[in-house]
Amino acid sequence: MLICRTINEIREFVRQVRERGRTIGLVPTMGYFHEGHLSLMREAKKACAAAVVSIFVNPLQFGPQEDFHQYPRDFERDRKMAEETGVDAIFYPSVEEMYPAGFSTHVEVGGLTECLCGLSRPGHFRGVATVVAKLLNIVLPDKAFFGWKDAQQALVIRRMVRDLNMPVEIVTVPVVREPDGLAMSSRNVYLDPRERTAARVLFRSLQIAERAAAGGERDVARLQKAVRQEIASEPLVQIEYVEIRALPGLEPISRLQGPALLALAVRIGKTRLIDNTVLNPEGDQLAFDHV
Ligand code: AMP
């Protein structure tokens, strides 16, 4: 497995893969891998001849009061895990390599970013869209892989790729969870044992809404209330938002009619966690790639 610290190095790798007529899958990450990241890498390996994983904690997508400096990092551990998963190359650039002095161009995706995490984290999706646009331009993959754990992010990236005619297919992969239902996240290491136990309430609350919707409940306010009530049973957990919005445009809705995203963000102590599920009144399992 090749490790590239510069744009020139990864471009040379990509050139050689292309010369042999092979396809490339890109998995953008901020590192500190868990099973969620590995599932994206496996999908990339299955769908493409060569899998490239980028590891870059992107300062542009963190607010001034957020955890950019504390964000967990362990390149040696990540390197081993990627190698064991069959990744062909890691792109691991420095901040200076990605944002040299004078960098001043940003990608702004409208609409979709004006709700949910876009409200609580101003500038976050601008930072995400900008870095992903750069990574797509650097690696020029056939397919790029994103987790549904960050559903709004996946929708924003898909919109950017369509709006800017980027020649890449965006593939989304379902949320990977711990055995007790907590969505895997690099930030879960911030939780102390009591907070970790309290965090189970997130998945429980999503399941309550899933069951109610499956049982015929269509009223969005009532579904949201049921989720909030369940979360409120855990005093350590503070709700930032609980919202149900239409897919794929994230418009507000009052009744479930087509596929909708139930998304939530909470704080547990100093840790901010997000989770989501798709509610589909038609009942069938939604293929994420058709969202
Ligand atoms: P991150 O390193 O947290 O920026 O995540 C990199 C990619 O992995 C993003 O596309 C995330 O949506 C995805 N990802 C993170 N956690 C999970 C998870 N639990 N299940 C599936 N994908 C995930």
pLDDT tens across 139-195, in order?
999 999 999 999 999 999 999 999 999 999 999 999 999 999 999 999 999 999 999
Show the ligand 1 pocket: residues with CB < 6 angstroms. Answer: 29-30, 36-37, 39-40, 146-147, 149-150, 173, 175-176, 183-186
Select from 143, 173, 203 the last residue of a domain. Answer: 173
179 in a domain, yes or no?
A: no
Q: Within this chain, do residues 10 and 107 fall inside the same structural domain, yes or no?
A: yes
The pTM score is 0.97
- Supply the pLDDT for residue 290: 47
Question: What is the distance in A from the centroid of ligand 1 to the CA of 40?
Answer: 8
What are the pLDDT digits (tens) for 205-246? Answer: 999 999 999 999 999 999 999 999 999 999 999 999 999 999
CA–chain centroid gap for 106, Å, is: 19
Q: How many domains does the chain contain in total?
A: 2
Distance CA 123, CA 140 (A): 25
181 in a domain, yes or no?
A: no
Distance CA 66, CA 87 (A): 30
Please state the φ and ψ torsions of residue 14, each to the nearest 5 degrees: -60, -40
Q: Within this chain, do residues 21 and 164 fall inside the same structural domain, yes or no?
A: yes
Question: What is the distance in A from the centroid of ligand 1 to the CA of 45?
Answer: 16
Please give the residue range of the domain that contains residue 106: 2-173
Instruction: Inform me whether the pLDDT recorded for 36 exceeds 90.
Output: yes
List the catalytic residues. 37
Q: Within this chain, do residues 13 and 127 fall inside the same structural domain, yes or no?
A: yes
Q: Within this chain, do residues 198 and 161 fall inside the same structural domain, yes or no?
A: no
Q: Within this chain, do residues 141 and 164 fall inside the same structural domain, yes or no?
A: yes
Q: Within this chain, do residues 131 and 272 fall inside the same structural domain, yes or no?
A: no
Question: What is the distance in A from the centroid of ligand 1 to the CA of 229?
Answer: 27
Distance CA 79, CA 75 (A): 6
Select from 122, 139, 173 the last residue of a domain. Answer: 173
